[in-house]
Every structure is written in structure tokens, then in C-alpha cells.
Amino acid sequence: MMKYAYTQVDISPLQPMKPAGFIQQTVELNDQKDTLHARILMLDQEDTIFCLISSDSLGMAADMQERIKAYCETRYAKKAAVTNCCTHTHFAPSYKDTRYQEQYFTEVCTAIRDIKFHETDHLTYTFHREFYDGVGKSRISNHSTDLILLSLIELYDTDSRIGTIIDYNCHPTIHNGDTPYFTAEYPGYLLKQLQQKYSGEFFTFLQGPAGDVSTRFTRSAQDYEAMIELSDRLQKRIEEIRILPKEKKNALPFRFTSVDLPLNHALREIPLSDIPVNITPRELETIQVGQKVQAELAQHIDELPKQILLSVLCMGDLHIVFSPNELFSYYNSCIGDGDAVLSCYSNGYEAYVTDPNFKTITYESYTDTLTDETKEEYCKALKKLGAY
């Protein structure tokens, strides 16, 4: 016998704050198009409780995860494992704002305190993964990737579907940086529409390795209406998948483990003469920004993180692997071919990581500081967790 619970809580800013995602976002905003949510799934099994949080946020610092873990252990008087994930909207308050940190912590912990559990001895899941580029494609000119993956994990209590975990790797950057309001972007809008249509079921969203995947070549505009258009397209495909026949598998027992991955850093020298001429104006603009960011990194390279936390939640044969970095889609190939997904912007929030031996010149080429040897070890660690 085990227990599960799910809820969501409003984490919209209670006062004017600056959004977090673009360099030109320097003005505090009052207006919002969407409610920003933190969606919480909890599993309680004997002496351990697991809490998966997915928030409409650019990212959250790792110490917030540790604070919530400490609260869970106090609240439930047992060992807790907490993973705090973010959908990566660029139009949520900055996690560096201490006012927002305290608001977020209070609201999430209040929801955890009051959450209602259900008992079950027959928790199952179905798993479906496919290539889907209807919303996102490689945002690098003259490149493509076959690792844009849409995965659905549907959870059942006996014969009743209780919720769906969506994992998809496309940057939620449909709006432009001058957008004057907060928005949950396409993940938040998608989940709102699904919850309204399938009342009583729980939906949450995990952002896969989307460092090189965005809506740059799929969006019709950079506004709210274009965001709805792409969200509706993704919802249509999800609903088609939900009616496909799928094998139910036992989701119990659940297991959780984590590892620390050591990091080695080195900045890549990129001659300006190597910048391609046949790229979009937006790509050239971001490359110029990347050059400035790299110059700043060079002055503080000794302050970069020396390790990161990777983890995995196993539910039967299902593996949900968590990483803090903004990984390129290549890393979807590292978790294996079984029932496994990779969630980024989790266990903290860290920088871009391109493929090992990546040669193309992009913004990320300048801001990625990991050595190729570290990237190879990164992939090995993900593979191990995907088979744990």
C-alpha cells in the first residue's frame, strides 16, 4: 500500500517584479496574461516521501529545493526526496529576487502541508515517446535534430487515469523579449486547457533538453495568439496519443537516487571570421550577446560550479532523470531506449551544454564552458541513471 497526491498552487508575483529570461528585461512588470503555477505530485511509500514540483519559472536555485526538502521531512516526519523542475518560461519573476524566493517557498510549502493523499495498492503507468517537431525545430540555421521528443507518462489508480506527465524539449520562447506581461507561455497554457477539458485529472510538464530547439522556425508571430496556435497544435497531438492503445505497467515500488557530477571548465576560442554568413539576423544578434557573456565569464571562470546534482525517480521500469543544465537535444540520446525521459532545469538551474565536440558557432558556443571530457562523463552519468 502506498499513497499519492497532487495539487497546484498559484505562484504569480504579488507585487511588481522584473521577468527573468532576456537581457533587455530591466523593467518591473505589473500585468500578467496567465496564472503562474507550481504543480506538485507526491508519492508516499513506507519510510520515504517523494515530491515532484514543476513550476512556471525560468529556473530555481538548488537551495530552494533543499529548503523544500527540509520542510517535507519536518511536515511528514520521514525521509524526503524533492525535485524542483521548471518549465523555463522567460516571463516569470527572477529566482534571484529574494522577495519572490520567499513568496514561492511559502506558497509551495503551504500547498504541501495541505495536500490530500489517496491510498492505492495498484498504481500503474503507460509510456509513449515519439519524435514531434510540430512546435519546435532546431533553432540553428542549416541544422536539424531527430531528438525532439514528446513523451507521455499516464498514471492510473487501478483502471482510472489520474494524471499525465508531459515531457517535451522545445524552448518556450514564442514571445519577444519586450513583452510587457508575465506569461506561462505554451506549457502553462497547454496544461490549463487540458485540465479544463479533463476535469479531475492532474497534468504536469517537464522541459526536456531544449538548448538547441525552439519555435524560431515554427511560430507565425511572437505574441500571445501565436503561442495559443502552437499550444493548440501540441494539445491536438497529445490527445491523439492518449487514445492510442498502450500497455499498462506496474509503477511500484518507486525508487530515487542522485549523484554528484564533477565539472571541468574551459572557454572556447572562436575567431570572428568563423561566424557563418547565412544565418538569421536573430542568430547573429544572439552570437554578439554571447561574445559579451563569454568575456564576463572569462573574468570569473574560477567561480563556476565544480559539480552538479543529477537524479532519477524510478516508478517500476519508468525512469525520470533530472538535470539542472540547459542541455542540447543530443542528451536525449544518453538515457537509453527504455521507458525513460530527461527533465532539465531541475535540481537547480545551470548553463547551456552543447554536444561533445560541437563545432557550430551559436550563442551557446560562447556560453558553454564544460570541457568535452566532462560532457562525455555527463552522458555516461545520464545513461547510468536511465538504467538504474
Peptide bond before residue 253 is cis, with ω within 30 degrees of 0: yes
pLDDT digit string (tens) for 298-348?
999 999 999 999 999 999 999 999 999 999 999 999 999 999 999 999 999
Residue 342, CA distances (Å) to 77, 91, 240 in order: 30, 23, 22
**Per-residue model confidence (pLDDT) at position 22:** 82
Residue 102 — very low, low, confident or very high, per pLDDT cuts 50/70/90?
very high
For the chain, give the mean pLDDT: 95
Q: Is the pLDDT of residue 272 over 80?
A: no
**Per-residue model confidence (pLDDT) at position 158:** 92
Asked if 93 and 21 count as a contact pair (C-beta separation under 8 A), the reply is no
**Per-residue model confidence (pLDDT) at position 104:** 98
Instruction: In whole angstroms, give the CA distance from residue 123 to residue 248.
Output: 10
pLDDT digit string (tens) for 128-142?
999 999 999 999 988
Residue 277 — very low, low, confident or very high, per pLDDT cuts 50/70/90?
confident
Residue 273 — very low, low, confident or very high, per pLDDT cuts 50/70/90?
confident
Average pLDDT over residues 135-164: 95
Side-chain-side CA neighbours of 77 within 13 Å: the count stands at: 0
Report which of 230, 151, 257, 185 is spatially closest to residue 22, judged by C-alpha positions.
185
Per DSSP, helices labelled H in the chain are 62-76, 98-114, 185-197, 224-242, 281-298, 363-367, 372-386
**Per-residue model confidence (pLDDT) at position 376:** 98
**Per-residue model confidence (pLDDT) at position 122:** 94
pLDDT digit string (tens) for 32-73?
999 999 999 999 999 999 999 999 999 999 999 999 999 999
Per-state percent for the chain, helix, strand, coil, to nearest 5: 30, 30, 40
Which value, to the nearest 10 degrees, does the dihedral of the CA atoms of residues 125, 126, 132, 138 take?
Answer: 40
**Per-residue model confidence (pLDDT) at position 260:** 98
Average pLDDT over residues 238-264: 97
Per the structure block, which three cell numbers stand in for 255?
525508487
Query: Regarding predicted confidence, which is higher, 288 or 127?
Result: 127
CB atoms within 10 A of CB 33: 17
pLDDT above 90 as % of the chain = 88
pLDDT above 70 as % of the chain = 100
